[in-house]
Structure 1
């Protein structure tokens, strides 16, 4: 399913929001993941808003933005995010994203709900009377009369004045994570995985993301994730994926930049580069510490005789396979790519 080709759910001169959720992809029903693509033009602001039922985890593809959060009581945080960095917003936290750069800011945003709901700050004010708002701020009620006739731009607005980025926004924030700058926990000549997970980013709840790179002669081996659903976005390259379903049905399809896939919990699957260039995926999980069982290491837990009997073999195929103490996750492709079927 293509995210970049989706009809925008919101679009104006300030930018675009595209979504893949349970309303336009029924396969997500019952899952705890959905994705959005946010494009903000220079000087555009994703209005202050909050999500009713979902945490938010975003990866910056390009540009520079100022993220501001109001989390609890009088606690606020403001920080900049650039390409390769991420931010996390707990459910219910008021937040905005302000493009303070000179180019389009692009974000791939994951949520912990298949159809996240939200409130915008402008609409939330107009729900209450002028008198109630006046009492809240200790001012006359007619202070808020202009709100009733103003034309609200919606989810994205455009500033007429530059935003002053405070020096504090460049400091470390617990809600920002520089995923692409980290030393990859998984690293080989065939690719790498940088992991925004609770082990490295303690603030996370209900969601994590891997920044996966696979070379043009590499492959993410067949594997599955116990009690974890996976939803991936193809940032760069062309790939082939195979997913095994309960009952034996097999789905194999090709992916290109802008595509999204979903793998239900514990379904075996693999990812293989079939293009001329490397591939880069942003892979979201509905688990802060996703586990992984790979085919290469898994068979090492049984004697070759047991595997021979399970497969109904007369020859000892498995005795010739190398023992793997730790699963490599990403392996070199030593055989040609299977022809397209």
Structure 2
């Protein structure tokens, strides 16, 4: 009983010691505290690059331990952030990297082709790609397929052609950095010119993740499986005219280069309502603080209704800003340089992966990401989308255009910092201030 009285007496004294504010008094609110811990300041830079003469270990700060078993050192040097990931990585995002060097190559007389589709990277459900090489004069035989075909010329010069369902014809030449697009089902041809002795190499992207280059509809394959008397009846010529048609498909084969004068190669003048090639190489890049970019979609290339693209350059120390694409996946191809990308998949799932020239990345719709130049030379890559219209959301612009009090409540930033955010998209930003 006495102990309870003593407790009540102490509480009364404490109560009387608390000042009651009056209308003239000023009371300072206690400093706000976060509802969760503040984000860590631990550095998360890549720990090495592919050019270093070291034995990489999965150790970052106090985390990890050395490898006691066998190591594939060249691969581990190329994949820093897989072996020793940033501490900001969390959970597991499906693999979003595929190097073309791991694709099985199909060698032909006159060239080769290697592909990436959903069998190689299960996350890549909507787009697939093919890297193709043709020697000078060589032909990717006349064919068609169920999916739309978009192309980017990596090197060399080519002549392409197509015929529309209405019987309209288009023949066009393309060079390094240029594009073509053929809608699904449109028959077309591809031939390397002899402008250079090496011929040409080009990237093909298709608007289906399950596309297979080995399952296209080929002219020679079809006729090899039709009775010759039926072929003769169809073309209304003597059956002997088809004595030398191939018994199997040609796919890629050598031939005489096309004439330099494109008009002399045309059966009739082009009469399609729009061109199926686009001279992206002649488009001036839009400068950005950390590099530059070109966007080509149906606003500039109307024929390309299902695939659009951006060609991005990032200077040393710069990065493609934090962003996402609202409704379409991004199929990324790295042309030169070294990069790393963190993909945020919601639900505390985020992984970081490193990329080199010839690698492919795939980012599903709305996944937040950036692309950082981690090398010592200019980074160049393509962003390709299953859409006629290029769209992205910039994190910086979103925060800059949102009421400041909301941003401050989320991130604890000052008005001065928020005021410094760009209200227009930067696309490519420079090194850290």
When normalised by structure 2's length, the TM-score is: 0.71
Shift in alpha-carbon separation, 1:282–1:139, aligned structure 2, 3 A: same
Q: How does 1:149-168 map to 2 (within 5 A)?
A: 150-152=246-248, 154-159=250-255, 161-168=256-263
Contact 2:224/2:247 (8 A) holds in 1:
no
Contact 1:233/1:283 (8 A) holds in 2:
yes
Q: How does 1:117-132 map to 2 (within 5 A)?
A: 117-132=215-230
Partner of 2:152: 59
Q: CA deviation at 1:142?
A: 4.3
Is residue 134 of structure 1 aligned with residue 229 of structure 2?
no
Partner of 2:173: 80
SS of the residue 2:366 aligns to: coil
Partner of 1:320: 417
Contact 1:66/1:165 (8 A) holds in 2:
no
Q: Greater share of strand residues, 1 or 2?
A: 1
Q: CA deviation at 1:151?
A: 5.0
Contact 1:20/1:34 (8 A) holds in 2:
yes
Partner of 2:321: 221
Instruction: Give per-residue Cα distances to partners, 1:69-90, cap 9 Å, x unaligned.
Output: 1222432211111101111111
Contact 2:138/2:257 (8 A) holds in 1:
no
Unaligned residue ranges in structure 2 (runs of 5+): 1-97
Q: CA deviation at 1:318?
A: 5.5
Is residue 21 of structure 1 aligned with residue 117 of structure 2?
yes
Is residue 183 of structure 1 aligned with residue 279 of structure 2?
no
How many residues align? The count is: 324
Instruction: Give per-residue Cα distances to partners, 1:138-181, cap 9 Å, x unaligned.
Output: 1233433443xx4546310111x342244337999711111132
Partner of 2:5: none
1:211 alignment partner, one of 304, 311, 318: 311
Shift in alpha-carbon separation, 1:162–1:307, aligned structure 2, 3 A: closer
Separation in structure 1 between the aligned mates of residue 298 and residue 244 of structure 2, nearest angstrom: 45
Contact 2:137/2:199 (8 A) holds in 1:
no
2:205 alignment partner, one of 91, 107, 110: 110
Provide runs of 4+ in structure 1 moved above 4 Å: 169-173
Q: CA deviation at 1:324?
A: 2.4
Separation in structure 2 between the aligned mates of residue 40 and residue 4 of structure 1, nearest angstrom: 18
CA RMSD of aligned residues (A): 2.1
Separation in structure 1 between the aligned mates of residue 241 and residue 409 of structure 2, nearest angstrom: 81
Instruction: Give per-residue Cα distances to partners, 1:285-308, cap 9 Å, x unaligned.
Output: 011112111111111232232223
SS of the residue 1:84 aligns to: coil
Partner of 1:338: none
Partner of 1:262: 362
Instruction: Give per-residue Cα distances to partners, 1:240-299, cap 9 Å, x unaligned.
Output: 111101211111111100000000001000011111100110221011112111111111
Q: CA deviation at 1:203?
A: 1.2
Q: CA deviation at 1:7?
A: 1.3
SS of the residue 2:358 aligns to: coil
Unaligned residue ranges in structure 1 (runs of 5+): 336-341
Instruction: Give per-residue Cα distances to partners, 1:13-46, cap 9 Å, x unaligned.
Output: 2111111101222222xx3211110111122110
Partner of 2:103: 6
Is residue 298 of structure 1 aligned with residue 391 of structure 2?
no
Separation in structure 2 between the aligned mates of residue 51 and residue 166 of structure 1, nearest angstrom: 29
SS of the residue 2:136 aligns to: coil
When normalised by structure 1's length, the TM-score is: 0.89
Partner of 1:330: 428
Separation in structure 1 between the aligned mates of residue 108 and residue 193 of structure 2, nearest angstrom: 18
Shift in alpha-carbon separation, 1:140–1:151, aligned structure 2, 3 A: closer
SS of the residue 1:4 aligns to: helix
Is residue 233 of structure 1 aligned with residue 330 of structure 2?
no
SS of the residue 1:27 aligns to: coil
2:348 alignment partner, one of 248, 257, 262: 248
Separation in structure 1 between the aligned mates of residue 107 and residue 343 of structure 2, nearest angstrom: 34
Separation in structure 1 between the aligned mates of residue 322 and residue 423 of structure 2, nearest angstrom: 17
SS of the residue 2:397 aligns to: helix
